[in-house]
A and B are shown apart, each in its own frame.
Chain A
Amino acid sequence: MSSSRMPYQCMVQSGSMLIAARGSTIDLFQDGSLHSTWKCPPIQGAGNAQPLPEVTTKLAAQNLESPSVETNIDSASPPTKKRKLPASGPADEQTVSKDGKKKKNRSDVVLSGLKAPAVVALAVTKASNHVVAVTGEDKTIRVFEIIQKDGIHQLKQLSQRTMPKRPCAITVTNDDSTIISADKFGDVFSLPLIPLEATETANLAPHTPEPSTKSFTPAANELTIHSQRNLKALENQRRQTNKPTEKDGATFEHKLLLGHVSMLTHIVLTTLNGRDYIITADRDEHIRVSRGIPQTHVIEGFCLGHSEFVSRICVPSNRPQLLISGGGDDHLFLWEWESGNMISKADLKQFVSAVMQEFSTGEESETSSEPKIAVSGIYYTKQALSDNLQDFILVTCEGVPALFTFLLTTENRLNYMQTVKLSGNALAVVINPLAGSDQSDSSTQLIVSVDTFHKPGSTTEEWKDADKNTYPLQRYKFQDGKLIQEGVFQVPTPVRDEGDASGSGASGRLTNLLYSLENLRKREGEAQEE
């Protein structure tokens, strides 16, 4: 299988560099050329935990030949112990079919089907010398330094810290000192970018004021229990001498800043009138505005109006009093977030429907007539339009091969401007990357990552007859308010086969990695606990 099929799921820009994550690897580009690749090592013992796609010796050999610069990790590369014999083919299929059945289980959604944990979020420091990445399956936050060696930029991992729950969104504070991580369980933690020495952290008391009991005594007693069965259970507990071992919390310094009782989807740090704020969005339709560090326990307000999950929020840097949010609703919402007032809504559905019409075949239209919207990206950029600088908003949706642009007017409305059709589903966008080097004109460039693995318009179907010329990274640029294609990004197509992305069932698991937002939608008939 061709290697270029593995798409880039997230990207960030750091100075003149583009940092893009593809499965469990991170590529570093400068001036349009690939400088280096960092590979995430596989989880220890993970092979037993999750069904792996077939691993062939040929692939293992390729892995060693791969042009990975970070060789220190490669040397400890996976001893392909879990190699499956050809005879186990049918068994493999069984696991896959089981997977299919287990789809309903939300925890399975995490599995990307890759050998090593996949990168699910990226962030960079303002000073552009550090990159923070989250790898999903192992819930780990990794900090890298961008170093230069023989004129080649590389990522050097400085630290890895495993969080108590899987981080969903990360960001770095303005002073570059602290990482803010929002997780699946609804908690927001702060961690120093550069962790202290292990010996120092050992002395640091954990922030959470949980009273820790040394010896185990049941919290219940005869007086607090009102049923015979529970009384028996209590007697049994008392007889038990060995305390049930509680999981140790993280050993590194981290502080709990705030929390929702819901899965967090996005976090934004912003400053208005000299005050810092943390804005968090969750699966239960909430957008919460809290004070910034160190007063994060004070909730200033909520922006309430969504009736489905909120997946992305964006504060335009030029107009920091505004916030644009999107999620599972048919509309984009525009807020004055400090007061929590909704100012306007903009329909998104008609434009998504127009794009998706093309892809709905006869049989599909019978089953699912209307496309469901899951906003996967909201980006802000300032562009010249008829000699004036105007505020533009770019929106992408899960499984939709298009970019939608809106004009943010001075009357605080979002006016639809343009639909730019892409050759594959939009995955990630970076605005104005690699600026400065060879830019004679001041027009803004965009790098768009498109899905080269799934069919355009589908989040599940594999794109078997993909055009070889469909590159995962494509260049666009703004010209008088219009986005026009400028060509593809020169991604070298090394024979750095992910391998993992191929094979039966891989499509489903890759769907989990690339299109996880639609799963946030609440389902009818779920949890009928009555």
Chain B
Amino acid sequence: MVGPPNKRQKREQYKSERGEDAKKTQELPKKKFYRQRAHANPFSDHHLVYPISPDHMDWSSYYPAFVTTPEEDQANPVTDIDIDIGRARPLKKNVEVADIGCGFGGLLVALAPVLPDTLLLGMEIRTQVTEYVQERIKALRAQNPDTGLYQNIGCLRANAMKFLPNFFKKHQLSKIFFCFPDPHFKARKHKARIVSTTLNSEYAYVLRPGGIIYTITDVEDLHNWMVSHFDAHPSFERVPEEEQEADDCVKIMRVETEEGKKVERNKGPKFVALFRRLEDPPW
């Protein structure tokens, strides 16, 4: 649904002013200009931009501080095959943590200083919200020019249910977060849930053995759904509670996500479950 025209006008005006004024880029963006309906149909085509394969993904604009220097490039020159296929230059590091459905980016921003040497990527299907997170990261980087903080986080618009293998190679990730995913209450819509028997195989593909999947939700039914589906999947095992509670990421996930804060205000329950990616069985 599109808001009344003056709302859109204000939004556009705000964004163009932000773009022009160099000072403003240091200010954190205002959420009210980036709101968007909370649901997106994961089955529709949208107007998505995604790389043909992980090799084609150009990460340089998302993590400019991790772009290889020309000297390093010379040591590892581009081959004819790379040019022919259209392979992009890899960064110094690969993305290792994905926050799927990152929303307004609360978790990313909170995790950035905790995992300073790891590249984190937020994936969000809503255009406006993605834009907000991108502006937020830009502002945070501008505010911290000397410390190099927040250089390790990025956000892009993507449909992770369809195109995860286009972004990540086999076993590339060490952590995947699903924080307060759309519960899709109606049974008819359960197929649209981010956790399912068949999608879990894809998460197992991009996650390395030993990697962890983090889930949190305030909907008990969805929590049970996620637990039963990961439990039933031979590639995953539930992480025991003591280990779960000792994990710093769990604490951050509980209190720093935007939804988490909302639930806190409502004094609602939060259900957490972690799953470890097992080694593939021999065959």
Point out residues on A near B: beta carbons under 8 Å.
185-187, 208-211, 218-220, 223-224, 226, 244, 246, 256, 258-262, 275, 284-286, 288, 290-291, 295, 297-299, 301-302, 304-307, 342, 522-523, 526-530
Contact = CB atoms under 8 A, between A and B. Distances in A.
Nearest to B44: A527
State the main secondary structure of chain B at its contact with A. helix
A80 B44 CA distance: 40
Contact of B166 (A223, A304, A526, A528): A304
Given A297-B204, A529-B46, 20 more contacts: A187-B198, A209-B229, A209-B231, A210-B228, A211-B228, A219-B185, A223-B266, A224-B183, A226-B262, A256-B198, A261-B162, A284-B163, A297-B235, A298-B235, A298-B283, A299-B205, A304-B52, A305-B53, A522-B45, A527-B46
Contacts of B170: 301
B49 to A, nearest CB: 12
Contact of A527 (B45, B219, B225): B45
B127 interface: yes
Interface stretch (B35-43, B112-120, B136-144): B35-43
B268 A224 contact: yes
Contact of A209 (B190, B197, B222): B197
A291 B235 CA distance: 13
B22 interface: no
Interface in B171-193: 183, 185, 187, 190-191
A209 B202 contact: no
B241 interface: no
A224 B219 contact: yes
A148 B86 CA distance: 58
A26 B174 CA distance: 52
A286 B47 contact: no
B221 interface: yes
B250 interface: no
Nearest to A260: B198
B218 interface: yes
A220 B228 contact: no
Interface in B49-63: 52-54
7 contacts: A186-B198, A209-B228, A211-B228, A223-B269, A301-B170, A304-B53, A528-B47
A295 B43 contact: no
B199 A259 contact: yes
Contacts of A530: 127-128
Size category of the binding interface on chain B:
35 or more
Given A286-B165, A305-B52, A530-B127, A220 B85 contact: no
> Top 9 closest A-B pairs, CB basis?
A259-B198, A223-B268, A219-B221, A304-B53, A209-B232, A299-B205, A527-B44, A261-B161, A297-B201
Contacts of B283: 275, 291, 295, 298
A306 B51 CA distance: 11
A529 B53 contact: no
Contacts of A262: 162
B224 interface: yes
State the main secondary structure of chain A at its contact with B. loop
A297 B233 contact: yes
Contacts of B163: 284
Contact of B197 (A208, A211, A226, A526): A208
A186 B197 CA distance: 12
B42 to A, nearest CB: 7
Contacts of A302: 53, 165
A244 B205 CA distance: 36
B267 interface: yes
A112 B151 CA distance: 55
Nearest to A522: B45
A295 B85 CA distance: 32
Nearest to B39: A529
Contacts of A218: 185
Contacts of A211: 224-225, 228
B41 A529 contact: yes
Interface string B249-283: 00000000000001100111100000000001101
B159 to A, nearest CB: 8
Contacts of B225: 211
- Of A219, A256, A290, A522, chain B has the most CB atoms within 10 Å of the CB of A219
A220 B217 CA distance: 12
Contacts of B42: 261
A297 B201 CA distance: 6
Given A226-B266, A275-B283, A220 B162 contact: no
B55 to A, nearest CB: 8
A329 to B, nearest CB: 11
A526 B183 contact: no
A413 to B, nearest CB: 14
Given A261-B42, A298-B280, A304-B165, A223 B199 contact: no
A521 B163 CA distance: 17
B160 to A, nearest CB: 9
A220 B204 contact: no
Contact of A258 (B128, B201, B218, B268): B201
Contacts of A342: 85
Given A297-B234, A527-B46, A220 B185 contact: yes
Given A223-B263, A223-B268, A285 B52 contact: yes
A185 to B, nearest CB: 7
Given A297-B233, A305-B52, A219 B183 contact: yes
